[in-house]
Every structure is written in structure tokens, then in C-alpha cells.
Structure 1
């Protein structure tokens, strides 16, 4: 780091009343591989790497093997004076609530859950908005109106992805049929690419031309199955358009890494505040991905229409229903 840049940062921290010693950022990844091509990896690449490069501060990382280790992982970080501590995933909710209460002078953040405490940021995403866009694109791309969805753990939160996807498809073609499969009902569902591939093949055999996965590391199996079968796949969380050329139609990008970066940045600049943040299209929290890897799959007229729908959602002209608001979807999700 240059002397000028160091001076600027130290001056900023002095004004905010903080110091490098007082800012000890940390992250506790969800149980599963850190490099999962999905949730954890997005936090690492877009959050940890970016923050360390920008602020010349190390982010301490832990990756518990099992959810039963979450409380101890957070407590160990807190005992070391780390703050803010970012917990990756709703499964941390109970553990974070307990540890945040034990360490009221430290700052915490959690992704995809609300923990009501005076020292916690709850970072929530409007996944249904981004899913609407990729569902619309899928319906434009498919010759017949049959689409597939593979979810990881069967939770209302994951059904929210499927519901947004189906709403987007029905907006383009009201005859669309969205076939839904869930991998399981335990956290192991996030790390089972073999089962993901099996379910993707079931959907493809049932005439689904595009399969959207919201399944964490299990999505890798979905994408591989689509590639082998000559179908299209849609990734989630991080941009995975590069994985299989001519297979990956797009990715529903959920910028969890950016959200993690911002909570550390706010602490460094003295602007950190607790409370719930809702991050959708308007806030840059979700989006669809178009780049050199999928450009050949998305005609210009389809790109234009998707972006028009995107702007309509931002402007409030299209209201995408959030499944978790009442655990219902206004369009059918077909599970048999």
C-alpha cells in the first residue's frame, strides 16, 4: 500500500473514532465447501478478497464442518475481539442471536435471516425479483413452455426462488409449466451434486428445456446434467455462466459478497448501523448475468425485454410476489 493511501485510510479511521486495531473483520461460512461455486464462494471472492485489497486488513475466516459447530465458531471469533462478524446463511440465526447477546459491544451481520438485536445487521435479499427475470428469459428461450427448478433444502425461502421463476415465466407465456424438485430436508441437501443431477435428469425427461437450480453446491450436478442432455441451465448466487459453454443460459446473481463487504466497509468508516436491510434489483442486491460466456444464447430482443422487465420491477410497475410473505405462490408450482 502506498504511503498516500495509508495516510488517507488512517485519517478516515481516525475521524470515525476507529482504528485498525478496533476493526477485526471476520466471516463464518456456512457448512459446506468454501469454494462451492455458490454462496460461500461469492462471499469470499466479492467480499473477503475485495475488502482485504481495499483496506489492507485481513478478514479472519472460519468454515465449520457442521451446523452444530456454529455457536462455538461465532463465540471463538467474538472472544478474539473480531467485529463485524458476518455469518453466512439463515442456519446461523439461533447461534448468532445467542453469541450477539453475549458480546453486546461487538458488531454482527447475518445473511438471509432476521436477528432482532441492537448489534446485528440482518441482510435480506429479494431473490424473487431476480428469479422473475431468469424465469422470463427461460420462457423466451424454450420452444415449449416446460421449465424445471431444482431446490436444495426444502424451505419456504427456497420455494421463493421457484415462485419468482414461475411468475417470470408466466408473465412471458401464461401456458408455462414449472416443474419443481427439492433435493432434501436437511442441510446435506446443499452438498449433494449427484442427487442434483438425478433430479435435473428427471425434469429434462419430463420435457423441461431449461432447469434453474437454487441448491448451493448441489447445483453443480444440475448444470452438468443439463450439459450432458443438451438442455439449458440457470445458476444462482454467483455468476457461473462460464461453467458449460452453450448450456448456462444465465445466472441469477445474488450479491451476498457485496453485502458482506459493505458491512465491513461501514464499520471501517464509522457508519455501521444495525437493523434489517432488504436488497433487491433497485438496491443492486440481485440481478441476471449477461457476459461473453452466454452472449450467444441470449438474442438482442430477449436481452431488451428482460431489461425492460427489470426496470419495470425497479419502478414498481411490476410487483413480484414474495413467497415467504404468506407461503403461497400466485402461479402453479408443479411437483408431480
Structure 2
């Protein structure tokens, strides 16, 4: 899932990100001490980059593991709000031109740019997360988001007092609708009398819904005011606002996404009300691709990380699922063995 965070007018970069601004809203980090024959990994983040506490950070964990294990040189570039497709192409091309291999685009928004850039640099292996390219030198890394979301729906239905449940999506894109579809199915399969209110923060090409915590907070508050007591937000940086709103409502639960948000330093104060998070192990996909290049057998084609191989999962931080874990595990088994077919559209 594409994850973004709000970029201020001044294009401030926090110290916590440890990044050096190279353009308004774009930043890069490059390791030192490169040597002849050294593995060089290029990472092109979506808006928000390292430090978004969500999707980009999951990719960064895979990069960090590969860097440490293989002694690689790395360069990280971050997209900025309002940029053109040509900006994304230039970002990827600059990494390929610099000898970085693999070059990884984090998020579906890089799809067209990777298609074009991969054709120009056939000797470079590219990674594309959350979308699929048919280019021969691209490894498309995708996930069964709907399956992890189904399990979250099971948990939500079992934890909700009155069966009033909410879903907040950042943008009404097919990818986010997969989250919504799986979640709603998990809820209604578990409690046919339950209802799920689905709300998207923005629509179409307006991707700001992924980086507007204030919108996430307002949407969640509106749901809570209607008696909804469990809210799953698949909305990138906007989800932090939803989590904050839920924490202020006694007896309500939030469900995080992409990273274990109960462990996130910026959100840990709300951990007691974060029931679980639907995690997509983007770090595994990134690491696997880098290792394949290091081993001289670059991965290409499409690899879908599914529930059966823990490509998606639910976190258990805080033991909030302890009383219902057996039922969640039962649902997981049925998805893995094919008894339950999870929808990808609502």
C-alpha cells in the first residue's frame, strides 16, 4: 500500500529521518565507502519516505537488513507531493545511471516510471512494490492485502460490542479497495448482523488522503459519534489521526496497517487501544530481491506474498487478540487451505 506523510510548505526534514534534503520535499541518504564490486542498492520511496511509520518504513527495514548483511552501499531518494511522472522516471534513472543495482520503486505510483526506465537500463534489475510490470528485468512484489484484512475483520467482529465497525481508506484506489473488501467480508462472515461503514478520504488522482492525519482524525471521530467502536484505517499517514481519535473514546479499538503501529514511537502512547495491525511484510520482498541480485540470480517476474507464507499477517502486540486468537487462527487456516475465498472488491 502506498504510504505518504504530510510535507510542510517549508519542506522541513526532521532530524529523526536523518536525511539530507536535495529538493523541496525530496531527500536522499547515501552510505559512504563504496568500493570496486560492492553491491549498490538504490531505493526510491514514495512521498513520506523513511520515517512514515508505515509502508515506506517497512521497505526501509528490508533495505537496512540487506545493507548490514551484505555490506552494501545504499542511496535513498524520496518522492515529493505534486511531482510529475517525469520526476519519478528521473529519480529511477539517476540511481541506475549511478550503478545502483537493484533499483527499487516503493509503491504502485512508480509503475509507469519503472516500465520506461527498465527498458532504458536492461542490465539493471528493478523492483516494483504493489504493482506489476511485464518488463523482463523487473521483479514485481505484490501482497494479498485482502487476506490479512479478512483476519482483521474477524477480530473486529469478535471485539465489537454492537457490531458497528468502520473502515477508512486513504484514497478510493483498487489497492485500498482490496483492504476494504477483505475486511468487510471477514466482519460479516463472523457476524452476519454486523455492519461496516466504508469511507475514503480522497478520490481519483487526489492522493493527499494518504498524508492527512487531520482528515483521518475527523473521519474517525464522525464514525465514533455514530456508535462505531472498531475502526481499521488503511490510509498511510492519515491513519495516525484515526488512531488518535479512537484512543480518546473509551471502549473503542483501532486497527493499524503495514507496520506494527503499536510499536511505533509516535503512536506507542495509543498502544492500549490499537487492537492489532495488518502487516504487509514489504521488508521481506525487498530483502529477497537484493539477495537474489547479490547471489547473481536476479529475481524477475511477479511474486505474490500471501498469508500462507506470512506475506501478510496480524500483529499481537499487547495481547489484545489473546481471547480470540483461536478463532483468528481458524480463519487463517481456512484461507490458506482454500475453504475461504477472500474477495478483492466490495
Q: Same fold (TM over 0.5)?
A: yes
- When structure 1 is superposed on structure 2, of 57-66 and 186-195 the one drifting more is 57-66
- How far does residue 49 in structure 1 lie from its aligned partner after superposition? 1.4
**Match for residue 211 of structure 1?**
231
- How far does residue 64 in structure 1 lie from its aligned partner after superposition? 2.1
2:261 to 236, 240, 243: 240
User: Does 2:120 align with 1:102?
Assistant: yes
Alignment of 1:49-60 (within 5 A): 49-60=64-75
Alignment of 1:118-137 (within 5 A): 118-137=136-155
Alignment of 1:218-297 (within 5 A): 218-230=238-250, 231-242=252-263, 243=268, 244-291=270-317, 294-295=318-319, 297=320
User: Does 2:47 align with 1:31?
Assistant: yes
- How far does residue 270 in structure 1 lie from its aligned partner after superposition? 2.1
Aligned-partner Cα distance in 2 for 1:268–1:41: 22
Assess if the C-alpha contact under 8 Å between 1:139 and 1:172 holds in 2: yes
**Match for residue 4 of structure 1?**
none
- Kindly indicate which of the two structures has a greater share of residues assigned to strand: 2
Aligned-partner Cα distance in 1 for 2:312–2:297: 23
**Match for residue 325 of structure 2?**
303
Assess if the C-alpha contact under 8 Å between 2:49 and 2:79 holds in 1: no
- How far does residue 33 in structure 1 lie from its aligned partner after superposition? 4.1
What 5-or-longer segments of structure 2 have no aligned partner? 1-34
- How far does residue 181 in structure 1 lie from its aligned partner after superposition? 0.9
User: Does 2:99 align with 1:111?
Assistant: no
- How far does residue 241 in structure 1 lie from its aligned partner after superposition? 2.1
- How far does residue 20 in structure 1 lie from its aligned partner after superposition? 6.8
TM-score (structure 2 length as normaliser): 0.84
- SS of equivalent residue, structure 1 residue 246: helix
- When structure 1 is superposed on structure 2, of 29-38 and 164-173 the one drifting more is 29-38
TM-score (structure 1 length as normaliser): 0.87
- How far does residue 59 in structure 1 lie from its aligned partner after superposition? 2.2
What 5-or-longer segments of structure 1 have no aligned partner? 1-18, 324-328, 330-336
Q: How many residues align?
A: 301
Q: Deviations over 1:213-234 (max 9, x none)?
A: 1001111101001011232100
User: Does 2:208 align with 1:188?
Assistant: yes
**Match for residue 88 of structure 1?**
106
- How far does residue 156 in structure 1 lie from its aligned partner after superposition? 1.6
Distance 1:267 1:225, change over 3 A: same
Aligned-partner Cα distance in 1 for 2:193–2:224: 18
- SS of equivalent residue, structure 1 residue 166: helix
- SS of equivalent residue, structure 2 residue 128: strand
Q: Deviations over 1:180-221 (max 9, x none)?
A: 111112122111000000001111112111000100111110
Aligned-partner Cα distance in 1 for 2:64–2:120: 29
Aligned-partner Cα distance in 1 for 2:37–2:249: 54
- How far does residue 272 in structure 1 lie from its aligned partner after superposition? 1.9
- Kindly indicate which of the two structures has a greater share of residues assigned to helix: 1
